[in-house]
Structure 1
C-alpha cells in the first residue's frame, strides 16, 4: 500500500525548549504545541494528504510539489522542525513523548536526506502519481468529498490547477532527459495509454463527470445547472487537453529518451539513491546485500512448504507444473460476474469474524467496504486498501481489480489477500491509529511501509488461527503470497543493484510462485517504478514475528496474543527500531 509521508513544517518553534526538570515525566505541552504546529503546517504544504486525512480545508488546492522551488520550501520546513525538536532532551520526556520524539527526529532526518536526490525529474509513472490520483479524487468515489455545493466548487478550483501541474511535469521530465534521470522505456509505454484513457470527446462519459451524475437532489436547480455546465467546461477545456498534451509529449518526445535499463542504478547517483530507498522503506539500516540474502533463504524455506502442500493433495509432478495446474484448471475460475468475486470476499470476512475477538481486544469504529476497482485503472492496479476518514464519514475501502471475472482465480490467495489488505490488516492498523485521539496528529496519520506492510503481511500468517486456510489450495495461495514477498527481496535488490533485467526478474518470479506472466510483468514493473518499496513487507513481517516469538518465550503463561496485537497497533506506525523499543518496554511490564 502507498505510504503517504507525514510530518513536516511548523510555524512555531514551540513555546519553549526543554523544561529543564521534567522529573514527573508528565506530557510536555510545549512539545505538543510543536507537534501540532508541524501537522498544521504540513497540511498546508501537502493539501492532497490533508484530503486523504479527512481534513477538508485545502480541498481546492493542487500545488506542483515536485518543482525545485517547492522542494526548497520543503527543505526549509523540515530543517526548521529538526532544529526545533533538537532543543528538547529526550530523557526528560514522558514515555509517550519519547516515542513521539524518536519518530519525529527520524522523520525530519529521513525527509531531508531524500531531498538531495532528483526523483522529481520523474514526476509520474504507471503505478503512482497525480495523473492517476486525480481520477480517483475527481470520480466522486474517492477521498475528495462531494456532498455540498461548496465541495463541488472546491473541486473545480483544485482540478483547474492540473494543467499547470502537467506543464511542469513536462518541464521536469525534460530536465530528467538532460540529466539522464529518466524512466525505463517499458514503463513509459504503460503510462501513455493511461493518459489516452482520460481523453474523452464526450464530457459526460469522463470519469470526472461522476460527481455530476451523483449530484445530491437537495441542490437548487440553479446550482445543479451551474455546476453541470462548469464541470463539462472543466473536462472539455482543461482536463482533457492537459492529459492529451502530457500523453502526446510522453509518446513523441520522452519515449525516445527513455532508458533500456531496468534498475535505478542506471541513473546518476542511482546506487546511493537505492541505498537511501532501502533505508526509507524498511526503516532499518540493513544493507541491500543482507536483504537480498534474507530473500534467498526465505524463498528456499517457503518452497519446502509448497512442496508439502503439493504432496498432501497427491499432485504428481514438479512444483512448476503444480503452479500451472492451479493457473489453468477451470475448477479455480468459477466466477461469472464481478459481484460473485466480491461476494466471495464477503464470505471470507464472515467466516473469520468469530475468531477475531480472541485475537484483538480493540477493533476500529471506522466502517469498512469491499469495492471493485474503477475500470480506468483496473488493468494496472493491484488490490489495495484506501483509508477511511477518522470521523467515520468515509469508510475504509478494500479495492479489488476485476478486469474479467471469468479469469479471476481462487487460488490467487483470496483469503490471505483479505487478511492483508482488509481485516485485520490495513483496515485495523490504519483505522485504530486514526481513531486514537491520544496521539499527536502527526502520528495518527503517519505511514511507514515496514510497519504497515509488515503488519499486513504478518496478518496473512494468522489465517489458520482465524479459521481460514482449511482448503489446501487457499493455503497454497497464502504460501504463494508469502513467497511473493520473499521473491520481492531478491528481485528488487537484484534489479536495482545487480543488473538483473526486467525479463530475468519476471522469469525468476514465475519459477518460484504461481503467477501469470501478465501478473509477474505488472509486479516487476512496479518495482522498477518505485524502487525499494517492495522490501518493506517481508522485512516488517519478519520483525513482528520475531517480537511475538521473543515475548511468548519470555512471558510464558503471561503472554496474551490479543494484548500483544493491541499494544503493537495502539500507538500507530513507527520505524521498526522504535516499535521494538516500545514493545520491549511493554513486555517488561507484563
Structure 2
C-alpha cells in the first residue's frame, strides 16, 4: 500500500472547497436574472481562486491558508490537536519521503515570497507583530531545516523522540475510536507503518549520499529499541502497545464482542504480515549504517556543520548570540550556582569539599530523599506528583489573573514502557484542541532510584504548573491572536517560561524545606551546564566521554541521567541552550518593568502581558 502524498491532500481539499464556493452563486439564479447571476459567479470565482491559489487579498487569509496547509499535510498532528473535534485523515501518517522533503523546501520559499509581498503595506501594531512572527518563523526554517543545504542534517531516526517511536505513540495515545469506522481507520494506519518505515530507509540512504552520518551511540540505542519491539511483535504480539491500546479503545458501544475479536485478529495479522517485516527492513538498514559509523560527534562534522550549528542556536534562542558567548555565559552561571549551593550546605553544617560533586553526594547521603525501589512506589510517585501539582495550582490565583489560569487540569502519566530506556526523566504533552485529551505530564519510572524527592517540586513546576501546562493551554485559548501564533513553537520562549516559573516558585516560597530549594538550584545548575556542553559538543568538538565527564564533575545527577541528557544534546543541537537564555530574557523584562513602574508594578499584569502575546515577540 502506497502512501498518499500529503501535499495532495491540501490540493484536493483546496480544489473541492473552491468548487463548492464557486457554486454558491448559482443559488442567485433562482432569485435574480441570468446576467446578474453570471456576473456574480465570475466575480465570486475570481475572488475564491485568487485567495486559494495566488496572493490573497489580506494577511489573515494568507495566515489561515498557511496554517491549514500545514495541518492537512501533518495527519499525525491532526490526531493530536483534533481541531473542531474532528478526526481528519485518521487513516494516514505523515509523509516522510525524500520527495516530500524537497516539496516542503520549495513550499517554504514560496510562502516567504507571498508573505513578503505584504511587507510594505499598512498594518496595525498587532498585525505588524504577527507579520514579524510569521516572517521570522518561515525565514529561519527556510534557512535551516527546509533548506536544500541542511534539510537532512537532523537525525530523523533517533533515540529521543525519533519518528520510529513517535508514530507508535501517536497511534496508541491519540488515535480516537468512537465508532466502527475509527477502528477500521486504526487498522489502516497500523498497516501504513510499513510504508513509513520504507520512507525512513529512503531518508537514511539519502543521508549516506550526502555524507551525513548518525553518531554511533544513536544508532546503537535505536537498534536496541527496535529489536525489542520487533521481538515482542514476533513472540508476544498481544503485549504490543499497538494491540493493548486498540483493545482499550474498543467497547460494546462501538461494536459487538464478536466484531471486536475479529478486529483484534485482523490487527494481529497486520502486525505479522506488514509491520514486523518493516522492522526487519529498517533494522537491516541501520545495521549497515552502524558498521560505517566510527565516531560520536557533534554537528561540526556534518557538511558546513559550523554554519548549521549557528542556525540551530538562532532558531532555538531567537537571538544572534555566538556559540562562544553562550559557552562563556554558561560557565559563569555554573560557578555562581555552585557557590550558592556550597554556601547553603555550610549554613546547614554539612561538610563540604573543594570537589563540588563530592559535597553534593555527601548532602544526599545525609537526608532520606529516595523511594524504596519496589513496584508499589511507582504508583506512589505518580500520586505524589499529582499532589504537588494540585497544591501549587491552588495558589496560582495570587500570581496569574483568571484569564491566564487554564481551567483544564494537568494529569500525570507514566512514560510508555517501550520509550523508557531512551526518554528523559519527564516531559509535557499538550491537550487536544477539543479538550478530550488533557495536557499530560509524563514521568519516566524506568528506575525508581533516579527519582529524588527533593527535586520533584521543581520538575513538576517546570513541566506542569505553572510551567508548560499553563503556557501551552493559555496559548491555545488566545482568540485575539491569529491561530498560527497560538501554535508556533519558539523554544526559547517555551523553555524560558518554564524555567522562569521554577524561579518564581522559589521566590514565592513554594519550597517548604531547604533541601527542596537545593533541588531547585540543582536544576538551575543543570540548565547552566547545558549552555557549556551543547556548545562544547557542537562548537568546541567535545567527545561524548568528555561531555559526560564535565557533567559528572559539575552536577549531582547520577551517571545514567547524565548519559541520557548528553545523548539528547547530540541529536538536538542548540535546543539545550534555549532554557537559560529564555529565562534570563524574561527576568530582564521583569526587572525593566519593575524599574519603570516602581510601586505600580503588578506581577499578575506582567504575567498577563507575557502570556497574552505568546511566543516570538518575547525575545525580540
TM-score by length of 1: 0.89
Q: Deviations over 1:530-584 (max 9, x none)?
A: 111111111111101110111011111221111111111123222xxx2256xxx
Q: Deviations over 1:296-322 (max 9, x none)?
A: 111111112111221122111223223
Using the TM superposition, give the Cα deviation of residue 74 of structure 1 relative to its aligned residue in structure 2, in angstroms.
0.9
Q: Deviations over 1:5-51 (max 9, x none)?
A: xxxx9977748999xxxxxxxxx982111111111111122222222
Match of 2:111 among 81, 88, 94: 81
Match of 2:555 among 501, 513, 525: 513
Match of 2:82 among 35, 48, 54: 54
Question: 5 Å matches for 1:227-266?
Answer: 227-251=263-287, 253-266=288-301
- Preserved contact between residue 393 and residue 465 of structure 2 (Cα < 8 Å): no
Q: Does 1:334 align with 2:367?
A: no
- Preserved contact between residue 62 and residue 159 of structure 1 (Cα < 8 Å): no
Residue 177 of structure 1 is matched in structure 2 by 208
SS in 2 for 1:398: strand
Residue 409 of structure 1 is matched in structure 2 by 452
Match of 1:119 among 152, 168, 191: 152
Residue 193 of structure 1 is matched in structure 2 by 224
Q: Deviations over 1:265-324 (max 9, x none)?
A: 112211111111111111111111111111111111111211122112211122322322
Residue 435 of structure 1 is matched in structure 2 by 477
Using the TM superposition, give the Cα deviation of residue 177 of structure 1 relative to its aligned residue in structure 2, in angstroms.
3.0
Q: Distance in 2 between matches of 1:466 and 1:393?
A: 33
Higher mean C-alpha displacement, 343-352 vs 556-565: 343-352
Q: Distance in 2 between matches of 1:133 and 1:16?
A: 33
Distance 1:47 1:138, change over 3 A: closer
Q: Distance in 2 between matches of 1:138 and 1:17?
A: 36
Residue 127 of structure 2 is matched in structure 1 by 97
Q: Which has the higher helix share?
A: 2
SS in 1 for 2:413: strand
Q: Deviations over 1:152-176 (max 9, x none)?
A: 2222222322222222322332333
Using the TM superposition, give the Cα deviation of residue 435 of structure 1 relative to its aligned residue in structure 2, in angstroms.
1.7
Residue 588 of structure 1 is matched in structure 2 by none
Residue 239 of structure 2 is matched in structure 1 by 205
TM-score by length of 2: 0.85
Q: Does 1:388 align with 2:431?
A: yes
- Preserved contact between residue 90 and residue 101 of structure 1 (Cα < 8 Å): no
Residue 385 of structure 2 is matched in structure 1 by 345
Distance 1:492 1:447, change over 3 A: same
SS in 2 for 1:370: strand
Distance 1:108 1:121, change over 3 A: closer
Question: 5 Å matches for 1:278-297?
Answer: 278-297=313-332
How many equivalent pairs are there? 556
Match of 2:303 among 252, 268, 281: 268
Higher mean C-alpha displacement, 215-224 vs 451-460: 215-224
Match of 1:305 among 315, 340, 347: 340
Gaps of at least 5 residues in structure 2 are 1-9, 15-48
Using the TM superposition, give the Cα deviation of residue 120 of structure 1 relative to its aligned residue in structure 2, in angstroms.
5.8
Q: Does 1:138 align with 2:171?
A: yes
Using the TM superposition, give the Cα deviation of residue 504 of structure 1 relative to its aligned residue in structure 2, in angstroms.
1.0
Using the TM superposition, give the Cα deviation of residue 403 of structure 1 relative to its aligned residue in structure 2, in angstroms.
1.3
- Preserved contact between residue 295 and residue 486 of structure 1 (Cα < 8 Å): yes
Q: For the pair shown, which has the larger CA radius of gyration, 1 or 2?
A: 2
- Preserved contact between residue 352 and residue 467 of structure 1 (Cα < 8 Å): no
Q: Distance in 2 between matches of 1:475 and 1:557?
A: 28
Residue 535 of structure 2 is matched in structure 1 by 493
Q: Distance in 2 between matches of 1:288 and 1:13?
A: 45
SS in 2 for 1:332: coil
- Preserved contact between residue 534 and residue 569 of structure 2 (Cα < 8 Å): yes
Question: 5 Å matches for 1:523-542?
Answer: 523-542=565-584
Residue 186 of structure 2 is matched in structure 1 by 155
Question: 5 Å matches for 1:364-375?
Answer: 364-375=406-417
Distance 1:561 1:420, change over 3 A: same
Q: Distance in 1 between matches of 2:216 and 2:367?
A: 36
Residue 72 of structure 1 is matched in structure 2 by 102
Match of 1:128 among 161, 181, 202: 161
Using the TM superposition, give the Cα deviation of residue 223 of structure 1 relative to its aligned residue in structure 2, in angstroms.
3.8
Using the TM superposition, give the Cα deviation of residue 378 of structure 1 relative to its aligned residue in structure 2, in angstroms.
1.4
SS in 1 for 2:615: coil
Using the TM superposition, give the Cα deviation of residue 91 of structure 1 relative to its aligned residue in structure 2, in angstroms.
6.7
Distance 1:15 1:204, change over 3 A: closer
Residue 224 of structure 1 is matched in structure 2 by 260
Higher mean C-alpha displacement, 174-183 vs 259-268: 174-183
- Preserved contact between residue 79 and residue 170 of structure 2 (Cα < 8 Å): no
Residue 562 of structure 1 is matched in structure 2 by 604
Q: Deviations over 1:158-199 (max 9, x none)?
A: 232222222232233233334331111112111111101211
Q: Deviations over 1:391-448 (max 9, x none)?
A: 211100000001133552223x211111110011000110111122222221222111
Q: Distance in 1 between matches of 2:450 and 2:105?
A: 48
Distance 1:137 1:268, change over 3 A: same
Higher mean C-alpha displacement, 325-334 vs 36-45: 325-334
- Preserved contact between residue 389 and residue 464 of structure 2 (Cα < 8 Å): no
